[in-house]
């Protein structure tokens, strides 16, 4: 009789263990996939989305899809191209994304301007060769990062991008 009781108790116990193991494995896979979600983010997608909006009007506070301010533009481009959410304002984008040094800046990184790292007033997207695409008083344009009217205060990488 005690042999049957052991089997009766053991079967549900093993079933619970099997379900827990399956659940933990599934959760672990989901967490790892989320952590690596940037891994299929291609620079070409970000760059092509940004280029689509060249010539769009600058409007303070605008977040797209036809008018932008500087941080509304970078936020829109990352969300639309690689489904990456970044904060709304230039200062919040700098504060909330991974910093990179000038020597390690890559295409697709964000470049920030202002009085200091705690007083950021503008952001653009670096596209290589000292150039960026940004939204400013002339609208969405391609221009030099190191123009005399800009004071670069830092760079950040909102997503790890792959290059084709």
What is the per-residue pLDDT across 8-65, written as a single tens digit (0 to 9) for each? 666 665 555 555 454 444 444 334 433 444 557 899 999 999 999 999 999 999 999 9
Q: Where are the domains of the chain?
A: 1-35, 38-157
Question: For residue 106, what pLDDT is reported?
Answer: 97
Could you tell me how many residues make up the chain? Answer: 164
For residue 134, which phi and psi values (nearest 5 degrees)?
-145, 165
Average pLDDT over residues 102-117: 97
Q: What is the mean pLDDT of residues 112-130?
A: 97
Query: CA-CA distance, 155 to 152, in Å (whole number)?
Result: 8
pTM: 0.76
CA distance 128 to 126: 6
Residue 164 pLDDT greater than 80, yes or no: no
b/e per residue 98-125 (b: at least 16 CB within 10 A): eebeeeebebbbbbbbbeeeeebebbbb
What is the structure's pLDDT at 83? 96
Say whether pLDDT at 3 is over 90.
no
Average pLDDT of 84-113? 97
Which candidate in 36, 134, 151, 164 is catalytic?
134
Q: DSSP string spanning 12-31?
A: HHHHHHHHHHHHHHHHHHHH
Which residue is catalytic, options 53, 69, 70, 109?
A: 70
Distances (CA, A) of 18 to 23, 27, 124, 155: 9, 14, 51, 48
Place of tokens 């909006």: 53
Residue of 53, 69, 109, 122 marked catalytic: 122
Let me know if 122 is a catalytic residue. yes
**CATH code at 38-157:** 3.90.1720.10
């Amino acid at each position: 009789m005690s042999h049957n009781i052991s089997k009766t108790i053991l079967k549900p116990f093993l079933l619970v263990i099997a379900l827990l193991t399956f659940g933990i494995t599934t959760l672990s896979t989901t967490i790892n996939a989320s952590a690596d979600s940037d891994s299929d983010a291609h620079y070409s997608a970000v760059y092509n989305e940004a280029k689509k909006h060249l010539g769009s009007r600058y409007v303070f506070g605008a977040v797209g899809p036809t008018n932008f301010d500087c941080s509304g533009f970078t936020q829109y481009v990352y969300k639309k191209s690689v489904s990456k959410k970044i904060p709304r304002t230039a200062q919040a984008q700098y504060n909330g994304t991974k910093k990179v040094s000038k020597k390690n800046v890559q295409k697709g990184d964000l470049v920030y301007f202002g009085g200091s790292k705690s007083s950021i007033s503008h952001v653009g997207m670096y596209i290589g060769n000292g150039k960026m695409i940004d939204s400013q008083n002339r609208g969405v344009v391609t221009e030099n990062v190191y123009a005399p009217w800009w004071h670069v205060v830092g760079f950040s990488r909102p997503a790890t991008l792959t290059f084709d």
